[in-house]
Chain A
Amino acid sequence: MSVLTLECISQEFGGLRALDSVYLSIEEKEIFGIIGPNGAGKTTLFNIITGIYVPTEGNLIFNGQRLNDLPAYEIARLGIARTFQNIRLFNKLSVLDNVRVGSYGVSHSGFMAGMLGLPSSRREERKTLANALQLLELVDLADKRYEYADNLAYGEQRRLEIARALALDPKLLLLDEPAAGMNSTEKEELMLLIRKIREQRQLSIILVEHDMNVVMNICERIAVLDYGRKIAQGTPEEIKNDDAVIQSYLGAGA
């Protein structure tokens, strides 16, 4: 059962064809990796999926629904969450609040309800708080809940972004280079976390990553992009041995 399908997705910026007829199909509960050299179009792909760009050509289908023209916040509400390549936290908000904002897309109290303190709003606030604390426990940041987000260490900030993304209760989670800047211990923990998330929340994960160790270890299937095209797709074993991939990206010693 395909959760997300990219049918012939192309993206043009002025004269530059950033993505060219890319076809991808992500299955339920799978961990799918996207790799490729810088500039291959990986983040552009993420931006299309999350509604920041509108694809020039092609169809973006999520659980049977066409997403092409939907605004980013709408897509988030439908259940697609992401983290960012360059961390985008709410710096001057507390760790706890970062995660609470994350659940905006799945909560409903309006500004009137909040301002007047209506019971429905208060109930929802309790739920939001409980959920947020649970997520912070999951990423091991619960004891730092009142810290300002920009006070956290780099690795902690990345984990916070993941917690915030999970607050949307997504069916699809996009992780954009989550291991960037981490040391090997942190990467090990990250891999455990990603697997745990998939098990606990039964969602699909798409991972863009440069660290081959991470990719090969946790991804079930991998697609390789180069110059905006998909040049290979398969299991980690298959990708490791694919000539085209080795030539363009991995190098012979992979």
Chain B
Amino acid sequence: MDAIISQYIDAYYFRILILIGINIILALGLNLTTGVTGQLSMGHAGFMSLGAYTSAILTVHFALPFFLALLGGACLAALFGFLLGLPTLRLEGDYLAMVTIGFAEIVRVFFLNFEPGGKAVGFSGIPQETTFTLVWVLVIIVVYLNYKLLNSRTGRALYAIRENEIAAEASGVNTTQLKVLAFTAGAFLGGLGGGLFAHYMYFIEPGNFGFMKSIELLNMVVLGGMGSIPGTILGTVILTIAPEMLRIVQDYRLLFYGALLVILMIFRPNGLLGDVRIYDIKKRFSRKEVKSCQS
């Protein structure tokens, strides 16, 4: 399948499209925790890292089939999400943000010292099992499941937690349970993305998953519009392509990026698509209101 597609698309764009796909999966995971439920997570790269290394070790050292390895990586990431989230999310405030920063750093330092992962030199020789098809099929599945979830009873409750946690509790929502759920699910997707990443780049090292990576992923969620699936996708596309586009001004790239973030937050703090959600658009279009003239 890949072979067919790659005949039509230039290799360079082919690669970008795969990266966009992987980033969408990662970003949608973070979106679930931060965009929808409002729990700021600044260590998403930590889950990506866990998924990447775990799946790579499973394929390389244990000769596990790729799909199982991917799943294993994602599940391990989810487990850590669960263990981290449970004690932290019962508290209100920015605590999760602080904890996740610490968590991602610990993961990074761990893999810097982890012999089977190649330590600082990195892990090479990972079989390149990730295909264009696989990535985009998974993207479609993940987007679909997200869409269903966010338009269900649970999804509404998650948004409610973001908007007003106390009122959500008063409506019968076990906020701690749902926050942990969102965080764990987000971690799962982070691990999944990590596994896909590792098996596409066929080489990973701890520096791939540092604080800056967490920030990049956060920006994808925020840029597009928090809690919005199309917004997250848009933000991801823009921020995956932009560094490539800005290659011309390579050295100054980050300078522009930093300034861009500030400017964006000042002028459009709610992201490009605000809080637009898919069913909102549907409903607004189906209810055309005829505005009467002011008389």
On whether the two chains bind one another, the answer is yes
CB contact under 8 A between A90 and B172, given known A101-B157, A125-B152, A146-B287: no
CB contact under 8 A between A76 and B172, given known A114-B148, A115-B145: yes
Q: How large is the interface on A (under 10, 10 to 19, 20 to 34, 35 or more residues)?
A: 35 or more
Q: Is B231 part of the contact surface with A, judged by Cβ < 8 Å?
A: no
Contact of A104 among B148, B173, B283, B284 (CB under 8 A): B173
Contact with B along A198-217 (1 / 0, CB 8 A): 00000000000000000000
Give the distance in Å from the alpha carbon of A102 to the alpha carbon of B160 in the complex.
10
Give the distance in Å from the alpha carbon of A25 to the alpha carbon of B167 in the complex.
26
Give the distance in Å from the alpha carbon of A93 to the alpha carbon of B158 in the complex.
11
Return chain A residues, CB-CB under 8 Å to B280: 94, 146
Check A93–B170 contact: CB distance below 8 A.
no
CB contact under 8 A between A146 and B163, given known A76-B171, A114-B154, A124-B153: no
Q: Which of A65-122 contact B (CB under 8 A)?
A: 71-73, 76-77, 81-82, 84, 88-94, 97, 100-107, 109-111, 113-117, 121
Check A105–B156 contact: CB distance below 8 A.
no
Q: Which of A35-91 contact B (CB under 8 A)?
A: 50, 52, 71-73, 76-77, 81-82, 84, 88-91
Contact of B153 among A88, A93, A107, A117 (CB under 8 A): A107
Q: How large is the interface on B (under 10, 10 to 19, 20 to 34, 35 or more residues)?
A: 20 to 34
Return chain A residues, CB-CB under 8 Å to B169: 52, 71-73, 76
Check A82–B170 contact: CB distance below 8 A.
yes
Give the distance in Å from the alpha carbon of A94 to the alpha carbon of B159 in the complex.
11
Check A114–B152 contact: CB distance below 8 A.
yes
Contact of B168 among A97, A101, A165 (CB under 8 A): A101
Contact of A121 among B153, B157, B167 (CB under 8 A): B153
CB distance from B82 to the nearest CB of A (A): 14
Return chain B residues, CB-CB under 8 Å to A164: 171
Check B166–A52 contact: CB distance below 8 A.
yes
CB contact under 8 A between A93 and B156, given known A76-B170, A76-B172: yes
Give the distance in Å from the alpha carbon of A88 to the alpha carbon of B163 in the complex.
9
Give the distance in Å from the alpha carbon of A155 to the alpha carbon of B31 in the complex.
34
Q: Is B181 part of the contact surface with A, judged by Cβ < 8 Å?
A: yes
Check B148–A105 contact: CB distance below 8 A.
no
CB distance from A213 to the nearest CB of B (A): 28
Check B157–A104 contact: CB distance below 8 A.
yes
CB contact under 8 A between A89 and B167, given known A104-B172, A106-B172, A109-B153: yes
Closest to A113 in B: B152
Check A91–B170 contact: CB distance below 8 A.
no
Q: Which of B155-185 contact A (CB under 8 A)?
A: 155-157, 159-160, 163-164, 166-175, 181
Q: Is B275 part of the contact surface with A, judged by Cβ < 8 Å?
A: yes
CB distance from B277 to the nearest CB of A (A): 10
Q: Is B149 part of the contact surface with A, judged by Cβ < 8 Å?
A: yes
Give the distance in Å from the alpha carbon of A167 to the alpha carbon of B157 in the complex.
14
Give the distance in Å from the alpha carbon of A128 to the alpha carbon of B153 in the complex.
9
Q: Is A219 part of the contact surface with B, judged by Cβ < 8 Å?
A: no
Give the distance in Å from the alpha carbon of A167 to the alpha carbon of B170 in the complex.
11
Give the distance in Å from the alpha carbon of A92 to the alpha carbon of B168 in the complex.
14
Contact with A along B233-244 (1 / 0, CB 8 A): 000000000000
Check B166–A104 contact: CB distance below 8 A.
no
Give the distance in Å from the alpha carbon of A110 to the alpha carbon of B155 in the complex.
10
Give the distance in Å from the alpha carbon of A142 to the alpha carbon of B155 in the complex.
22
Check A90–B160 contact: CB distance below 8 A.
yes
CB contact under 8 A between A101 and B152, given known A52-B166, A92-B275: no
Which of A94, A101, A125 has most chain B Cβ within 10 Å?
Answer: A101
Return chain A residues, CB-CB under 8 Å to B173: 73, 101, 104-105
Q: Is A239 part of the contact surface with B, judged by Cβ < 8 Å?
A: no
Q: Is A223 part of the contact surface with B, judged by Cβ < 8 Å?
A: no
Give the distance in Å from the alpha carbon of A52 to the alpha carbon of B168 in the complex.
12
Contact of A168 among B149, B164, B171 (CB under 8 A): B171
18 interchain pairs (CB within 8 A)?
A: A50-B170, A73-B171, A84-B166, A88-B167, A88-B170, A90-B164, A93-B160, A101-B171, A104-B153, A104-B171, A109-B153, A111-B154, A113-B152, A114-B154, A115-B149, A121-B153, A146-B284, A168-B172
Interface residues of A (CB under 8 A from B): 50, 52, 71-73, 76-77, 81-82, 84, 88-94, 97, 100-107, 109-111, 113-117, 121, 124-125, 128, 146, 164-165, 167-168
Interface residues of B (CB under 8 A from A): 145, 148-149, 151-157, 159-160, 163-164, 166-175, 181, 275, 280, 283-284, 287
Knowing that A81-B170, A104-B157, A110-B154 touch, tell me 18 more A-B residue pairs with CB under 8 angstroms. A52-B166, A71-B174, A73-B171, A88-B166, A88-B167, A91-B163, A101-B168, A101-B171, A105-B171, A109-B152, A109-B153, A111-B149, A111-B152, A113-B152, A115-B145, A115-B152, A165-B170, A168-B172
